[in-house]
Structure 1
Amino acid sequence: MARARRRPARNAARTSGTSPLSSREPTPEPEVAAAAPNTHTTGAEACPGCTTESSASFNQFEKESWIRCDVCKTWYHWRCASTEPPSFLSEDDKKDYNIDKIDKWYCKPCLDKDPSRVITLKAPTRKSDRKRNYQDYANLNLGLTSDPTRWMRMLENKTFKPDKFKRMHGSEVTVEWLEEDEDAMMEPFVVEKPDGLGMKMPPSDFSVELLAEMVGEETPLEVIDVATQSASPGWNLGKWADYIELEPEAREKIYNVISLEVTGTKVGDLVLPPKLVRDLDWVENFWPGTRKGKGHPYPKVQLYCLMGVASAWTDWHIDFAGSSVYYHILRGSKVFYFIKPTPANLAAYERWSGTELQNSWLGDLVDEVIKVTLTEGNTMIIPSGWIHAVYTPLDTIVFGGNFLHSFAMPMQLKIRKIEIATQVPKKFRFPLFSKLCWYVGDKYLRDLKGPAGVLYPARVLTSLLALADFLVSEVRILERGSDQAKKEVKEQIPADRVKDPAAVARELRWRVRVAAGNASDDEGATVKTNGAGVKRKRTAEVEDERPRFKNFKPRRWDNVVEKSDEEETRVVKAHKPVEDDEAWKERWVEWTTNGVDDAADVQVKSRTETIVRIRRTGEGLERQRVERVVESWEWVD
């Protein structure tokens, strides 16, 4: 079969026709080629058909076509070697005769040597007007169908619980509300107008075309084929903008974009999450600002632009690592289907994920499904762990983002375990999750150690204990895990902040327990909460003894001075605690001796103990002065 190639004619002009197969330097044109263009030299690198006149006519800026003889394997310029079209061709085909139609081709010397040789053409491509039905065999093997409407057909005979989620004004959505209301952010809520949210969004006429111009049309884009719920390769923002411009009936497939993060772009400058989100977001508040610059990877999950066309569907999922979500409809509409993250529902979701059950309706495996419709201008906050699917009734642009926070760590860790159990690929999990947890744990530990002391709501203390337990589990891998496991854990520990991971993790857990009202170092202990605060079931307690735990090595003080003032004695009146009165324990914590009726005389001996400790630090000197008043109460008979 004849071989044809194209190459820039400027090389041919310089070398008078170097063979495209040659890897050697061009050689001067043989004189015989100019004098006798029809001379046939087997293996020669110059085009044997070239003449001085034909070489001079080459345009060095055009690509020149070459063809090889099927017998002697010599390469010719097509313009030098082309012969008259075969006689069997019709007049129309002769007009369209070109190198691409050649099947077997022979040079003139080879034809002269054997007249039985005939130049032949490729068989014409068979065309048919019949529309073919192509099968997606890869997805059929996975049990998936290529019909994007099957999701809507699933919904036809389903029942949904009415939406009773809170509708709030933006000014009500504050950290104070979250701290004071135990039910705050335990279920999704909607803010119908953005006023008061402290949020910034692009104008409502913002378009996908403008997005492509601002971010860059060549920016790679992950696009989801709705029919298979899998990625469709080869997309960029320019191609997506062209697709969006098509009329719905002209779109051969339904596609969806749910993972375009725009941090650091001109579009990102137009977006600011709600103030509550910024106040809670771990990445915003705990990841060092010096580690967010160029060359420093960090979790960029705060500014997503989601674009879906009419009839797009996103199947059941939980946002990675149980992160919470803010979701603003810039233009269009979305219909959400929610499943509450109860233990039974999460277990059903785990069984459903990644199995043949995933082709069925998850709502049939849970207690109830709640339907919520959002329209242009609505903002919704989705709390940690809520299972949801999303339908797009018309072309829609959404801006939103994910955030981890200190009120939901138990649920966030529970979802992370489900991701590991269902083998979710790491690229679809919350980026740098463990490293972020170390930054958060280190900051809370420093706050808990501060002299001023910090008071946290019960939900935060419960969340911090879960965080500390997670960090301790990471430390245990460092102590007992395989070499590969140790390496993976170590890579996630930020050496710029955490010098001794074991000490940080275990001291954080101990200080959280102290803040919750207990000081036991029992590793198996748990903290239980009620409406009044945090309580813990104690398994061991030793009075006036500093808790000790494995691998905890507190920093040493360079000098410690202790002194005690002389004991003083005074007489006051107070109720004497009795055996059948348990309330005296609470009363005596804040006891006031003045104006106590029906009380007996009490002799109170008191002394003041002072401890002064100093040590050198990287910034200079740390001096700690602790005063403690010790009283001994003795009732006078």
Structure 2
Amino acid sequence: MAQTNENISSENEAPVVSHVKTPEKEEGPGSRSPEERCPQCPEDRSERRRPARREDWVECEGCNKWYHWRCAGDGSDVNTLLRWFCGTCLKEDPSRVITYKAPTRKSTRKRNQQDYANLEAGMSDSSRWINMLSEKVIHLDPFKRMAGSDVDIGWLEDDETAMLEPIVVESPEGLGIKMPPSDFTVDDVASELGEHTPVEVIDVASQSASPGWTLGTWADYMELEPEKRDKIYNVISLEVSGTKIAELVTPPKLVRDLDWVENFWPSTRKGKGVVYPKVQLYCLMGVAKAWTDWHIDFAGSSVYYHILSGAKTFYFIRPTPANLAAYERWSGSEIQYQTWLGDLVDKVYKVELTAGNTMIIPAGWIHAVYTPVDTMVFGGNFLHTYNVATQIKVRNIEIATQVPKKFRFPMFSRQVMLDLANFLVSEVRILERGSEQAKKEVKEQIPVDRVKDAPALARELRWRARLALGNTSADEQDGAAANGAKRKRETASGGGPFRNFKPKVWDDVAEDSEVGESKQLKCTWPKPSSGDGWTSAWLSSTEPEGGEGEDDNKMAVNYHKERCVKVRRTQTGIERHRIERIVEHWEWDL
């Protein structure tokens, strides 16, 4: 009789990968308690390991004792047994014979079955890729090693190569990063997220998904000795945002400062049960000899990559136009299984990372990854403003090579549109409130032959982008919302001020400004600190009342004027708009 149990509490069982379903628990003779110990398990406690999540047991028909099939069996499928006897019982009575169930009848009809993933010669060998490297010319990397405290916005502004080439930060100090303790293991991942949680596992030999895995069976597999692993597998897409593990992980500060999803995705459209781009917190778990073939991270997103334990070896190809074109020809085509991409490009660089190292990989870099020892990594993807052109270029390659939707950056188009709209509105604010020099710089960027009312166009674009994201309440407002006054907007289906909006086209616009002289005067109007009701006097008149009393407030006032005149032809004549704005700044003589 064979039986499989889960989560046995005895202390001496070693984990195995089992694909036998757990039967209903039996009672009476032949059943065994979880505390029962396999007679053939090692006596030496140092050889014992934690309980296996799925453990095959077999009962001897002679002595009715239960054995681990991994301890007493011959390596065959325990489900094929009909009658089984332990070695002791077979010696006691040689007439006893182990018998097996009759095999399932199979059709003799020939079938044309091909394993397309392993069609090419050598594809079933998980070591073929790393063996091939011994014959290739690999260059030492020229990338910078930086201190964590130097990886900031100042670096982006001052270094012309910033976010254009990979960098390595050898120690996390100063990087603004938070990670689990270095002894955090795959067993901890399974415990935190649940052992029955499905996980996508990659068969390294074919670089394709291997179905049916959970975190429990994955943990059992990783805890096997390397020589006992039947195949080489890899986990590279376990995203943990919103889980207990996410509380232990914080990306580098620079990443958080740049990340579009972090900074621009509406806060009301994040959280449990809400669909939004979850690509910031990945837990990657690979065993020795695992590798990932050449790829570019989805949508040309940049990556931060921290080695918690173990090591990784990266191979990089620079994203030049020629190299990206070669990658586009190679990716998804027949030559992908026959040709090493490194033979089609100018150079391949090699970077070796060890525990504690963090790497930031910029947009578009083509890379492959080898795992020399069992390794755990935490990392994530992010889009940013510093290399939009490359991100769009990689997006176009994904479309051209028909990359499946599940392997693309989620909601990429809407995210890019929202970020663009927010940027344009920020430029509009400069146009409306900035210094004369700042205004001039913004105006030079506006194609006035096509855009006649830039502020209206920018705000219309942002409003529509927010609607596309499901944000119908305009919860990310500026201006009035920031001052506590919530503006109301209807959705596109209900009309509203922007439905079918068409900005006015002006034939000409003239603008100028004037800075007035500073005035000194005394005023009876109250200071803002004097209590409620002070605003009424300041709103009721254009000029404050003068005073001569000893308690009058002595003030200085500075002002500047902004004027704008717009003209256009109409069916009956000319329409002229004259707009004047006066800004006063009052200061008390303290």
TM-score by length of 2: 0.58
* Corresponding residue number in structure 2 for 1:336: 314
* Corresponding residue number in structure 1 for 2:413: 434
CA contact (8 A) 2:118 2:206 kept: no
The letter of the residue matching 1:310 is A
Structure 1 stretches of at least 4 aligned residues deviating more than 2 Å after TM superposition: 122-127, 135-144, 293-296, 451-456, 460-465, 489-499, 551-556, 562-565, 607-613, 624-628
CA contact (8 A) 2:417 2:465 kept: no
Tell me, what secondary structure is at the counterpart of 2:140?
coil
* Corresponding residue number in structure 1 for 2:380: 401
Deviation at 1:311, TM superposition (A): 0.1
Tell me, what secondary structure is at the counterpart of 1:394?
coil
The letter of the residue matching 2:182 is S
Find out whether 1:381 has 2:360 as its counterpart.
Answer: yes
CA contact (8 A) 2:418 2:465 kept: no
- Tell me which of 399, 422, 431 is aligned to 2:401: 422
In structure 2, C-alpha distance between the alignment counterparts of 1:221 and 1:166, rounded to whole Å = 35
Residues 373/609 of structure 1: CA separation in 2 closer, same or farther (3 Å cut): closer
Find out whether 1:150 has 2:119 as its counterpart.
Answer: no
Map residues 55-134 of structure 1 onto 2, 5 A cutoff.
Answer: 124-125=102-103
The letter of the residue matching 2:359 is M
- Tell me which of 342, 347, 368 is aligned to 1:363: 342
Tell me, what secondary structure is at the counterpart of 1:407?
helix
Residues 329/140 of structure 1: CA separation in 2 closer, same or farther (3 Å cut): closer
* Corresponding residue number in structure 1 for 2:51: none
Deviation at 1:185, TM superposition (A): 1.4
In structure 2, C-alpha distance between the alignment counterparts of 1:388 and 1:375, rounded to whole Å = 17
Deviation at 1:218, TM superposition (A): 1.1
Map residues 456-495 of structure 1 onto 2, 5 A cutoff.
Answer: 493-494=468-469
In structure 1, C-alpha distance between the alignment counterparts of 2:200 and 2:417, rounded to whole Å = 30
* Corresponding residue number in structure 1 for 2:433: 452
Find out whether 1:262 has 2:240 as its counterpart.
Answer: yes
In structure 1, C-alpha distance between the alignment counterparts of 2:101 and 2:212, rounded to whole Å = 32
CA contact (8 A) 1:322 1:384 kept: yes
In structure 2, C-alpha distance between the alignment counterparts of 1:161 and 1:427, rounded to whole Å = 33
In structure 2, C-alpha distance between the alignment counterparts of 1:390 and 1:314, rounded to whole Å = 5
* Corresponding residue number in structure 2 for 1:208: 186
Residues 494/310 of structure 1: CA separation in 2 closer, same or farther (3 Å cut): same
In structure 1, C-alpha distance between the alignment counterparts of 2:393 and 2:417, rounded to whole Å = 18
Deviation at 1:610, TM superposition (A): 3.3
In structure 2, C-alpha distance between the alignment counterparts of 1:197 and 1:563, rounded to whole Å = 47
- Residue ranges of structure 1 left out of the alignment (5+ in a row): 1-60, 63-91, 93-99, 102-121, 128-134, 470-474, 476-488, 500-550, 557-561, 566-606, 614-623, 629-637
Residues 406/464 of structure 1: CA separation in 2 closer, same or farther (3 Å cut): farther
Deviation at 1:202, TM superposition (A): 0.3
CA contact (8 A) 1:333 1:376 kept: yes
Deviation at 1:162, TM superposition (A): 1.2
In structure 2, C-alpha distance between the alignment counterparts of 1:447 and 1:323, rounded to whole Å = 23
* Corresponding residue number in structure 2 for 1:554: 503
CA contact (8 A) 1:406 1:464 kept: no
CA contact (8 A) 2:141 2:350 kept: yes
Map residues 182-201 of structure 1 onto 2, 5 A cutoff.
Answer: 182-201=160-179
Map residues 23-62 of structure 1 onto 2, 5 A cutoff.
Answer: none
The letter of the residue matching 2:502 is K
The letter of the residue matching 2:244 is K
Deviation at 1:225, TM superposition (A): 0.2
Tell me, what secondary structure is at the counterpart of 1:446?
helix
Tell me, what secondary structure is at the counterpart of 1:408?
helix
* Corresponding residue number in structure 2 for 1:524: none
In structure 1, C-alpha distance between the alignment counterparts of 2:318 and 2:184, rounded to whole Å = 34
The letter of the residue matching 2:563 is T
Residues 148/172 of structure 1: CA separation in 2 closer, same or farther (3 Å cut): same
CA contact (8 A) 1:438 1:494 kept: no
Deviation at 1:627, TM superposition (A): 6.4
Residues 177/626 of structure 1: CA separation in 2 closer, same or farther (3 Å cut): farther
Q: How big is each residue's C-alpha offset from its partner over 1:177-226, in whole Å with a ceiling of 9 and x where there is no partner?
A: 10222221110000000000000000000010011101111111000000
Find out whether 1:137 has 2:115 as its counterpart.
Answer: yes
In structure 2, C-alpha distance between the alignment counterparts of 1:563 and 1:321, rounded to whole Å = 44
Tell me, what secondary structure is at the counterpart of 1:374?
strand
CA contact (8 A) 2:292 2:369 kept: yes
Tell me, what secondary structure is at the counterpart of 2:386?
coil
Residues 141/461 of structure 1: CA separation in 2 closer, same or farther (3 Å cut): farther
Tell me, what secondary structure is at the counterpart of 2:304?
strand
Deviation at 1:161, TM superposition (A): 1.2
Deviation at 1:145, TM superposition (A): 1.8
Find out whether 1:300 has 2:278 as its counterpart.
Answer: yes
Q: How big is each residue's C-alpha offset from its partner over 1:427-473, in whole Å with a ceiling of 9 and x where there is no partner?
A: 100001011112212211221121334999xxx999999xxx9xxxx
Residues 453/252 of structure 1: CA separation in 2 closer, same or farther (3 Å cut): farther
RMSD after superposition: 4.1
CA contact (8 A) 1:188 1:383 kept: yes
In structure 2, C-alpha distance between the alignment counterparts of 1:464 and 1:243, rounded to whole Å = 59
In structure 2, C-alpha distance between the alignment counterparts of 1:463 and 1:312, rounded to whole Å = 49
Q: How big is each residue's C-alpha offset from its partner over 1:137-164, in whole Å with a ceiling of 9 and x where there is no partner?
A: 2424577721101111210111111122
Tell me, what secondary structure is at the counterpart of 1:364?
helix
CA contact (8 A) 2:414 2:465 kept: no
In structure 2, C-alpha distance between the alignment counterparts of 1:340 and 1:370, rounded to whole Å = 9
Deviation at 1:124, TM superposition (A): 3.6
CA contact (8 A) 2:466 2:472 kept: no
* Corresponding residue number in structure 2 for 1:610: 563
Tell me, what secondary structure is at the counterpart of 2:372?
strand
In structure 2, C-alpha distance between the alignment counterparts of 1:299 and 1:463, rounded to whole Å = 31
In structure 1, C-alpha distance between the alignment counterparts of 2:250 and 2:127, rounded to whole Å = 35
Q: How big is each residue's C-alpha offset from its partner over 1:335-357, in whole Å with a ceiling of 9 and x where there is no partner?
A: 00000000000000000001111
- Tell me which of 233, 237, 248 is aligned to 2:215: 237
Tell me, what secondary structure is at the counterpart of 1:264?
coil
Q: How big is each residue's C-alpha offset from its partner over 1:267-293, in whole Å with a ceiling of 9 and x where there is no partner?
A: 110000000000000000000111102
Which has the higher mean CA deviation after the structures are superposed, 231-240 or 435-444? 435-444
Q: How big is each residue's C-alpha offset from its partner over 1:519-542, in whole Å with a ceiling of 9 and x where there is no partner?
A: xxxxxxxxxxxxxxxxxxxxxxxx
Q: How big is each residue's C-alpha offset from its partner over 1:234-266, in whole Å with a ceiling of 9 and x where there is no partner?
A: 011011000011000000000000000011111
CA contact (8 A) 1:309 1:392 kept: yes
Report % sequence identity.
61
